Amino acid sequence: MNQTIRDLVLLFPCGKRPWYDPNGEGLCVWAAYQPKGAVSFAASLLDISGKGNNAGDPGGAGTPTWDTVNGWTFDGVAQYLTTTFRPSNDQTQSGICQFSGAITAGGFLFGCDQAALREFGIVPQWVEYNNGNQALVGPALAAGNLAVAGAQGYRNGAAEGAAIGAWAGATVQNLYIGCKLDTGVPGNFLQCNIQALAIYDCTLTATQISAIAARMASL
């Protein structure tokens, strides 16, 4: 039994449906990470959806700390994780994150910035949803669940804010966690804890976001 299968057995015993697809719909998950409750930092980087899209550790000063209760802890200065996910420029992607202790103004839970009006990610400090253009809604959320799906942002499973404007131009950056990759350089670091995170390569519905957020909150 390989490491990924062992972790799935521990996280989802007795056939319980996973939080990233709580109704067993076969959702378009690209990767799902659950550092909370993982057996080690190395295990926390595994894509528990089985797609093989594990998170990358930059090493050295860039490596976040980890524990089984808080999940990944980022210092807001230099720590982040990498992924190979590259958003499309037609808003056909979704991201949802369960987190706590977010205190850095302008820091991203996850993000990538191609250039003006070409951004995907979430800023909890004033809440800002990005998927092409941005929707700035406020107030800040220090702990809870935030998601973006297509042109809509969601706070704790409920839609909020106006529709996010469209993309402009091609996408060339991969998604990073705990910051945003900004034209090739990690920046906008966020001091926070991340307990769970999932990325989808389609637009989830409001009903699907609500169900996933509820399951993430109960982790």
Helices (H), 12-113: 41-44
> Is residue 20 in a domain?
no
Mind listing the pLDDT tens digit of every residue in the chain (219 residues)? 455 544 544 455 445 899 999 999 999 999 999 999 999 999 999 999 999 999 999 999 999 999 999 999 999 999 999 999 999 999 999 999 999 999 999 999 999 998 777 899 999 999 999 999 999 998 999 999 999 999 999 999 999 999 999 998 777 899 999 999 998 899 999 999 999 999 999 999 999 999 999 999 999
Q: What is the CATH number of the domain that holds 53?
A: 2.60.120.200
> Is residue 1 in a domain?
no
- Report how far residue 173's alpha carbon sits from residue 84's, in angstroms, rounded to the nearest whole number: 9
Q: How many CB atoms lie within 10 A of CB 206?
A: 13
Task: Look at the chain and report how many structural domains it folds into.
Answer: 1
**Domain span at residue 187?**
29-217
> Is residue 168 in a domain?
yes
Q: How many CB atoms lie within 10 A of CB 52?
A: 9
- Say whether the peptide bond before residue 139 is cis (omega within 30 degrees of 0): yes
